[in-house]
Amino acid sequence: MTTNWRQIADSYLVAHAHAHGHTVVTMEVVSNSPRNIKVPNACVAMDVKYVNVFAMLRAERARFVLGQSA
């Protein structure tokens, strides 16, 4: 089995969030497959909070404003 860069990046992301108390933002959902571990599964295993992009935008009270023409 080969390890690709995405698996390494996901592991690093969750480990970094765990070490520094951050929340992971992901669009992945929990998977029941033992062969296909998703970011939320790793977050649950490491006791790291995770949210999807829309929850993050709501929490940050993001506003998107169209420019006005002169």
Annotate the chain with three-state secondary structure.
CCCCHHHHHHHHHHHHHHHHCCCEECCCCCCCCCCCCCHHHHHHHHCCCEECHHHHHHHCCCCCCCCCCC
∠ CA 15-21-22, nearest 5°, is 80
How much is the pLDDT for 3? 63
For the chain, the domains span 5-59
Tell me the average pLDDT across 14-20.
98
pLDDT bucket at 35, cuts 50 / 70 / 90: confident
Tell me the average pLDDT across 15-35.
96
Judge whether 41 and 31 are in contact, CB under 8 Å: yes
How much is the pLDDT for 8? 87
Q: How many whole angstroms separate alpha carbon 60 and alpha carbon 54?
A: 10
Tell me the average pLDDT across 25-43.
94
With 90 as the cut, is the pLDDT of residue 30 above it?
Answer: yes
pTM of the model: 0.80
